[in-house]
């Protein structure tokens, strides 16, 4: 028997928050360099420290998510700056309560559940929400599913997947 397999790579759009962080960190670093050159060279140490912080923070602002669905298990990996990969969550689809588009009335009973966003952050695309119960606690996982993944989920659990 063959495995049910699908994967999807989603590029997360940078929002205003990420742009403010980048511009703010660059501006403060440049200001410290100028102040260090004009006022006191000791301030250059702060500029160097902030430059190192910039080096480590900027890759975390360039994100992609990879969804991998194999035989009833969905893995979500976070890829930072197209070089570092980190497993974010692994979901056994048997734990899934409901899969519905964001804003659907099917999600009303879970409005107080903690939400984790692993979507593209794009208003043009419709994100879906997987509600899972883990240790008697509901979690909402926001994903940017394509038709192939959605159809495989619907085939696996037809009463839990909604397209309204």
Round to whole Å and give the CA distance between 114 and 1. 37
This prediction's pTM: 0.79
pLDDT digits (tens, 9 = 90+) for 1-52: 456 788 889 998 877 888 899 899 999 999 999 999 999 889 999 999 999 9
Round to whole Å and give the CA distance between 20 and 102. 27
């Amino acid at each position: 028997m063959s495995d049910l397999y699908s994967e999807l790579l989603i590029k997360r759009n940078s929002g205003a928050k990420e742009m403010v962080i980048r511009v703010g960190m660059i501006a403060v670093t440049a200001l410290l360099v100028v102040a260090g050159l004009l006022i006191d060279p000791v301030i250059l140490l702060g500029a160097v420290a902030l430059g190192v912080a910039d080096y480590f923070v900027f890759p975390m602002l360039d994100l992609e998510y990879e969804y991998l669905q194999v035989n009833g298990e969905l893995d979500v990996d976070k890829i930072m700056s197209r070089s570092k990969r980190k497993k974010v969550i692994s979901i056994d689809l048997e734990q899934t309560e409901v899969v519905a588009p964001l804003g659907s009335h099917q999600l009303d009973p879970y409005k107080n559940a903690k939400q984790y966003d692993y979507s593209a952050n794009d208003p043009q695309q419709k994100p879906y929400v997987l509600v899972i119960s883990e240790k008697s606690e509901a979690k909402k996982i926001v994903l940017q599913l394509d038709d192939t993944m959605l159809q495989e989920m619907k085939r696996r659990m037809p009463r839990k997947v909604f397209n309204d």
